[in-house]
Structure 1
Amino acid sequence: MRPDIAIVLAAGLGKRMRPITDTIPKPLVRIAGKTLLDWGLDSLAAAGVGTAVVNVHYLPEQIVAHVAARRAPRIVISDESDRLLDSAGGIVKALPELGQQPFYILNADTFWIDHGPLNLRRLALAWDAAKMDILLMLADLHQATGHCGSTDFLVAPDGALRRSKGDPAGLIYAGAAIIHPRLF
């Protein structure tokens, strides 16, 4: 089953991108003529996602104005202006909008370029709600651009993940996942 809803984590402060983010939120930084946020929302739309919950905190009015004209996916704002809730807290706050079925999670500050089958659709094909609470999209460190740091996970033959502790054979988290709300 392919999720029809997603949360896009767009509430962060963007401290590592200062001074660029002194006046605009990181999700509105443009890469190749398109905002980081639009890279993610366009990927969701291409994968057939009908609704995206976008959480906001830092300079929220800019993100709200930016997404107002979008037609696909439909945007629902989860406002964290009063207090930054971090990733899990932002998801918990948005759970009433996300419903009881598995949903995508996208970081608003990462993007990928699909070659062939859409990565989000491939992720959905691998999803098995009977066996999984969460499924992460991973990438080879050597195929990533702009990633600072080491690897995140090693994949066992059965697909189970464990922290790589920087092992060069590991993979990096690519900023997208499918999660079942029962995890919360």
Structure 2
Amino acid sequence: MAAMEDAPQSPKRITRAFVLAAGLGKRMRPITATVPKPLVEVAGKALIDHALDRAAEGGIETAVVNVHWLADLMEGHLSHRVGGPAIVISDERAALLETGGGIRKALHHLGSEPFVVFNSDSFWLEGPRPNLPRLIEAWNPQTMDILLLVAPTATSLGYEGAGDFDMDADGRLAWRGEREVAPFIYAGVAILKPELFEDTPEGSFSLTLLFDRAAKRGRLHGLRLDGQWLHVGTPEAIEAAEARVRQSAQVP
């Protein structure tokens, strides 16, 4: 029998995800007065289906989706999805808990292993290698508490802000300074350890709290997106994103 150390290592696997889908989508009004933002269609498909399809392609087997605004529409749509991942609803009808509080409420569905977090409007054009498998492959729990998918600020379509992060040669992220412009923007996909939520407040809080803590410990890392991130934040951005999708489909 071959020695244990001679056996090939199994590929890294992360099988659970949390999809943030409870927000009010205020910047997308008037569309989101009657349609929750995750159900807004871009290139013929709801934003949340773009995210869930990417999750399935990356090996995610179970996705927990939180709902609050127009929750019945969200649940109805998700109940008719065909194919993976399996969907578990985390009901926030009683109170909107923000990004961190929503995940904390649903930790019992996510288990004790690291999991992926998706913004439900995370939308990008893939490069030669799909980005979620790249993110999972890059994950190293010995050196990282959080790994973010980050996109270049300068080439992200529909984004006009000053960026979020600087990144060093080892992939460690640092928040941009006040009045500075940073080269990378958070692209809405991350890997987190569930134990990071152990000393977080009850109720509503932002994931930024955990990003801050990890950055101060030197354990907030980033992976540069391979492709182009499309920021679909306003009604006007939908048309621009769809035009870019059409353009990419015509490139041989």
TM-score, L = length of structure 2:
0.71
> 1:43 maps to what in 2?
54
2:106 equivalent to 1:100: no
> 2:148 maps to what in 1?
136
Rounded Cα–Cα distance in structure 1 between residues aligned with 2:108 and 2:182: 39
Contact (CA 8 Å) 1:106, 1:177: kept in 2 or not?
yes
2:73 equivalent to 1:54: no
Rounded Cα–Cα distance in structure 1 between residues aligned with 2:183 and 2:168: 11
Rounded Cα–Cα distance in structure 1 between residues aligned with 2:84 and 2:38: 17
Matched AA of 2:183: G
Structure 1, residues 136-170: CA drift from partner, whole Å, max 9, x if none? 00001122112241110000122211111364452
The structure number with the bigger radius of gyration is 2
Matched AA of 2:186: Y
Return 5+ residue gaps in structure 1 as ranges. Answer: none
Contact (CA 8 Å) 2:164, 2:182: kept in 1 or not?
no
Contact (CA 8 Å) 2:56, 2:85: kept in 1 or not?
yes
Rounded Cα–Cα distance in structure 1 between residues aligned with 2:152 and 2:143: 24
TM-score, L = length of structure 1:
0.96
What do you get for the CA RMSD once the two structures are aligned?
1.2
> 1:170 maps to what in 2?
183
Q: Structure 1 stretches (4+) deviating beyond 4 angstroms?
A: none
Rounded Cα–Cα distance in structure 2 between residues aligned with 1:66 and 1:102: 27
Matched AA of 2:165: F
> 2:135 maps to what in 1?
123
Contact (CA 8 Å) 2:154, 2:183: kept in 1 or not?
no
Identical pairs, percent = 51
Contact (CA 8 Å) 1:5, 1:98: kept in 2 or not?
yes
